[in-house]
Structure 1
Amino acid sequence: MKTYQPITGEVLAELRSIVGEKYVWTDPDHLEQYKTDEETDPRKFHLPEAVAAPGSAEEISSILKLANREQFPVTPRSGGTSVSDGAIPVCGGLVLLMERMDKILKVDPEGMYLVAQAGARTAAVQQAAREQGLFYAGDPCSADSCLIGGNLATNAGGDKAVRYGTTRNQVHAIEVVLPNGRIARLGTRSKKNTTGYCLDQLVIGSEGTLGIITEVTLKLLPQAPYKADVLAVFTDQAKATGIVPVLLREGLDPTSVEFMDNAFVRASSDYSQLDLGHYEDGSYVILTLECFDEDELDKKLLKLDGLCRSHGAADVSMADDRVWTLRKNCLESARVLSKVMTSDDFVVPLDKIAQAIDELSAEAKKYPFQVFTLAHAGDGNLHFAILKGELSDQEWEEALDAFHAKAYGYIYALGGKLSGEHGIGAKKVKQLAQLADPGELYMMETIKRALDPLDILNPGKVLEVF
């Protein structure tokens, strides 16, 4: 990894002149606060040398120009909700906070779009849309705490991606500060565009390695007036996973199809102090249907009930918000049981999701750690929460490496990828280099070198090319 220059007193003085005295910190409390994101393994923590909170794209531009001149690394930090070590300053340097840039700039109900600064909370974006009778379809489980710019940087998914797609499908245009400090405006609200390269989509999902997104123009959609959540409980996990492709083939067009294995049902029920039934033996499939016609919704609900029961469901019932509390508390519930854990983020073609869950769950039982399984099953995205528990560091690393060696190869053999929504971050850099198509890797490395020749922006993430 490249060697950088330290942040000197002279550099700190320039940073303060750019963003203001009170928005630059070097005290131990602030540095300690930003040494990690959602990572809980202390061996992966890294202290920054300084933290700054700019208030505009122009201030970020000046900071990146200074960083290039003085050759210190910059790690952009959104809400700090990354589970792939994406916001950890692995090379030290400066952590750049986006939280001051938190304004909803415009909501246009006629044009059905919203403009926000990158530091706006995702929940605030959703609320602003609702107030105009519309909705924003991006809905990661961390919506209450994550920021919209971070959603774009990681191409976040979430519960509604099966119907509406991931974050990149919700974006018209972006403003981004490139690694050299140049400000670019990419994308358009036009329905069609073949004007040059699709650069906005290149930056979206690049995890802050190709630019810092500062402003977003988002698509809004009409809110369907009729909605129902359904909980289908299976006492046979294979039947629970097997129902997913059936539901997708039958034309129900669900908004969400979520899977929780029994380990997560028990853990999240305990954490949330809720019991929705079959605590001891149930795997849950949670479905949401949305329609613009009440009769259509009723017909789909009857069809859904029949399909689930004919494929082995022990119980099918209408659900309320408690089921989503249970689903969204899954990872927090696992952290209660083990301070150190890792969350895998495999994604496979839709017709392979049941096979992947069943076969990888069986493989995981061969190892000394505990594994909890959940999935955005309707879009092929599988999450394993792997708990260290009482294992020693050496036992943990050896078991994890052995499992991943099997699992990653298996996922790629199915036509899948390392990540569906969490990103590569610092966690999977080596695995991406090993598993990516050589031509794909060449293109990514060439783009990174061209836009960031000094490797200033979020080094150590996604690619290690210098």
Structure 2
Amino acid sequence: METYQPITPEIIEKLKAITGPSYVKTDKDILLQYQTDYETDPRRFHLPEAAVIPANAEEISQIVKLANEYHFPITVRSGGTSLADGAIPVCGGLVLCMERLNKIIELNEEGMYMTVEAGVRTVDLQKEAKAHGLLYAGDPSSAESCMIGANLATNAGGLKAVRYGVTRHQVYCLEMVTPTGDIVECGRILKKCSTGYDLEQLIIGSEGTLGIITKVTVKLIPLPPYRFDVLAVYTDPRKALYMVPKLLKAGIDPTSVEYMDNSYVRDTADYCHYSDMPHYEDGIYVIITVETFREDELDSKMESVCTICEESGAVDVLEADERIWNMRRNVQTSCEMVSKVFLTDDVVVPVHKIASTIEKIMEIGEDYPFQVKINAHIGDGNLHIVLCKMDMSDEEWETSVEKFHQQVYAYAYSVGGRLAGEHGIGAKKLKYMEEFTPKGELAIMKTIKRAMDPNNILNPGKLIDA
């Protein structure tokens, strides 16, 4: 890994001159909160040398220029909700916190767009849109705490991606600070454009390695007035999974199709203190949401969904009340009851391969001593795998996880999949990115990174080894 210069007292004074002294943090007790994100394994934690909380793009520009001058790394941190070690300062250096860039700049009802700073929480953006009868369709599970700039940086997916797409499909344009400190606008509020490279789409999903997103203009759409949520309970995972193609081919256009295996049903029910959940002992939950603009269409689609679920082998078809969605939102935190150390992963495969992929992963998992748990956005091919360490030794855990990943990733690529559907690569999958990405693709990525960030200042040790 590249060697960087330490952050000296001279650099600290220059940072204070940029942001004001109160927004530069060097106390170890404060820096400890920045040593990890959602990572639970202390061996992956890294303590930064300093943290800074800028107010705007101009301050960030000066900080980035300072980093290039003195050759220290910058790790951008938003809500700290990364599941791929994306916000961990693996090379030390400076953590740049986005929390002060929290202004909603404009909501244009006629143009149906909203411009916000990168530190606005996703839930606040959603609420502002809803207050005007509009919908921001991006909906990651961590919406209560994640920030919109980081949603762009990781191309976050979420619960509504099956209908509306992922974050990159919700964006008109963005403002960023380049790796050399320039402030640049990419994209425009246009329905279509064939004018040069699609730069905003290049930056989206680059995980902070090609620029620091400071402002974004997102697309809004009319808010559907009618909605229903169905809980289809299965006891045979194959029947639950092979229902999906029938649902998608029926023209129902669901907003969400979510899958929770029985271990998640039991653990999230216990975590949420729900004592009377249907089929607690053996149920596999599939949650289906449909939204419409006409009440008669809602009724006909609800009838079709229920029929498809019953005919595919569901043992119960019920209304999915708020308890069900609360369980779905807490799948991650419920793992803390099972194991102090657990590893969260995601892979994505073609939608028609999701059933066979989940079956294969569970088959692979039977050969290992850790617990394998699966929840998935089965309507868009994205599945989440959690491995719970339990009481395994560190050595056994590391060896087993490595072997498991090699098998799972090889299978995903063999059916046309990729390493991550929405969590990103971060530091956690860096070596697998090198191993599994086709060499031509990887070479282009590295060429772009080296050209845009010649000093390797932004988020080094993440996404690709430049």
Q: Which residue of 2 aligns with 1:343?
A: 344
Give structure 1 stretches of 5+ with no counterpart.
Answer: none
1:386 aligns with 2:387: yes
Secondary structure in 2 matching 1:379:
coil
Equivalent positions of 1:63-462 (< 5 A) are 63-274=63-274, 275-462=276-463
CA distance in 1, matches of 2:246, 2:267: 28
TM-score by length of 1: 0.99
The letter for the 1-side match of 2:378 is A
CA distance in 2, matches of 1:242, 1:88: 38
Secondary structure in 1 matching 2:230:
strand
Matched pairs, number: 465
How big is the shift at 1:276?
2.6
The letter for the 1-side match of 2:111 is G
How big is the shift at 1:410?
0.2
Q: Which residue of 2 aligns with 1:463?
A: 464
CA distance in 1, matches of 2:199, 2:377: 28
CA distance in 2, matches of 1:443, 1:422: 22
The letter for the 1-side match of 2:161 is A
CA distance in 2, matches of 1:299, 1:276: 27
CA distance in 2, matches of 1:250, 1:88: 44
Secondary structure in 1 matching 2:367:
coil
Give structure 2 stretches of 5+ with no counterpart.
Answer: none
CA distance in 2, matches of 1:291, 1:186: 33
Provide the aligned C-alpha RMSD in A. 0.6
- Residue deviations 1:333-358, cap 9 Å, x none? 01221111111111000100011011
CA distance in 1, matches of 2:368, 2:454: 42
The letter for the 1-side match of 2:142 is S
Secondary structure in 2 matching 1:216:
strand
Identity among equivalent positions (%) equals 57
CA distance in 2, matches of 1:29, 1:123: 29
- Residue deviations 1:315-350, cap 9 Å, x none? 001122111101000010012211111111110001
Secondary structure in 2 matching 1:461:
coil
CA distance in 1, matches of 2:340, 2:91: 24
Q: Which residue of 1 aligns with 2:36?
A: 36
CA distance in 2, matches of 1:347, 1:203: 21
4+ runs deviating over 4 angstroms: none
Secondary structure in 1 matching 2:6:
coil
CA distance in 1, matches of 2:31, 2:465: 25
How big is the shift at 1:382?
0.6
CA distance in 2, matches of 1:292, 1:356: 35
CA distance in 2, matches of 1:426, 1:376: 24
Q: Which residue of 2 aligns with 1:25?
A: 25
CA distance in 1, matches of 2:71, 2:200: 27
Secondary structure in 1 matching 2:149:
helix
CA distance in 2, matches of 1:246, 1:348: 18
- Residue deviations 1:221-246, cap 9 Å, x none? 10111100000000111111111121
- Residue deviations 1:99-128, cap 9 Å, x none? 010011111111100010000000000011
